[in-house]
Amino acid sequence: MISSIAGFPAEVVITEVGPRDGLQSEPVFVPTAQKIELVQALLDAGLRRFEVTSFVSPRAVPQMQDAAEVMAAFRDRDDAHLTALVPNARGADAAIDSGVDAMVLFASASESHNRKNVNRSLAESLEGFSQIARLAEGTGVALQGAIATAFGCPFEGVVPVGAVVDQARAYRDLGMGHITLGDTTGMATPALVIERVEALAKAVPDVQIALHFHNTRGVGLACAYAGLALGVRHYESSIGGLGGCPFVPRATGNVPTEDLVYLMQESGVQTGTDLNRLIHAAQLAERIIGRELPGQVMKAGPRLQIAAMDSVRTAHG
């Protein structure tokens, strides 16, 4: 076993967002049975926390029209923590009825991206969250917050750290004890991760911080490494690197779950998952989608995967 790097947490918690964030923009509907098969493969690999679907208008996001059916397949599993994205009170009612463990409420730290993403001002989004918080009272369903464009906006550029802190405080005041900083645009850098995580640790020390990176510019895992050095224990990722925000120019996929787990394990950080089974789940996702996915570990395998000498040619000359 590899020893943990000094200052790193001994273990981390990974939330798999592929079934929602990864599939939501796919133009061809993925049959419900295949979504369920994918989640089951991820469970078999040891993952226990999932953003499994979203309760949105089927007209707006046709891929999520089977949200209730996907939830029904796993709602009785005591070993799975299931969350769903909800945009409004109607979605919240449906999510609560489905048996979710938590509802994820999301808004952008950038005003312009929030309007592009949900066609609302940030103030309107926060007002809507107040209504959802009232609906959740007494149901046993927790609220989680996601701050999109937490590291930069494609329309405004720099997103001030103060804007992220203000939004985190607003979320905390609505009862959200778990807040994800989302690198929706792939603009995060290790320096920005350090700046924002340290600012939130001071401003909302009672809140659990999670990190969600995209690999748009190839530094997603470097950003996760920066998070580990800060002691962050919660991360989100998508199997095979599925996904990417449809309201961001030149967007690419999320950090692949199997690549993130490989980084963690090779840094001596426990994830509770089986990397080989995650690779099989990534390959299943690739077959379901019908095209090559960007994950690297699913192609190369674990570091110490041994090959036969005759599997490659011998050099001549």
H and E: helices and strands count for the chain: 11, 8
Domain over 13-311 is classified CATH 3.20.20.70 = yes
Q: What is the CB neighbour count within 10 angstroms for residue 45?
A: 24
Tell me the C-alpha to C-alpha distance, in Å, between residue 238 and each of 10, 253, 259: 22, 8, 10
d(CA 286, CA 282): 6
Half-sphere exposure (Cβ direction) of 22: Cα atoms closer than 13 Å:
31
Q: What is the mean pLDDT of each run of 10 residues along the chain (317 residues)?
A: 84 97 92 98 98 94 96 95 96 97 95 86 91 96 97 93 97 97 93 98 98 93 98 97 66 88 96 98 97 94 83 79
The reported pLDDT for the residue numbered 249 is: 53
* Residues 6 or more apart whose Cβ sits within 8 Å of residue 244: 25, 214, 216, 251, 252, 253, 254
Active site residue 223: no
pLDDT at res. 2: 77
- SS3 call for 288: helix
The residues spanned by each domain of the chain are 13-311
Q: How far apart are the first and last CA of the chain?
A: 40
Helix (H) or strand (E) holding 279: helix 275-289
Chain centroid to Cα 102, Å, comes to 14
pTM, two decimals, is 0.95
What pLDDT is stored for residue 184 in this prediction? 85
Pairing of strands 13-16, 49-54: parallel
DSSP 148-208: ETTT-BTTTB---HHHHHHHHHHHHHTT--EEEEE-TTS---HHHHHHHHHHHHHH-TTSE
* CA of residue 217 relative to chain centroid, distance: 17
Which of 245, 255, 275, 284 is an active site residue?
245
- Taken in order 158, 124, 24, 224, is the CA torsion positive or negative? positive
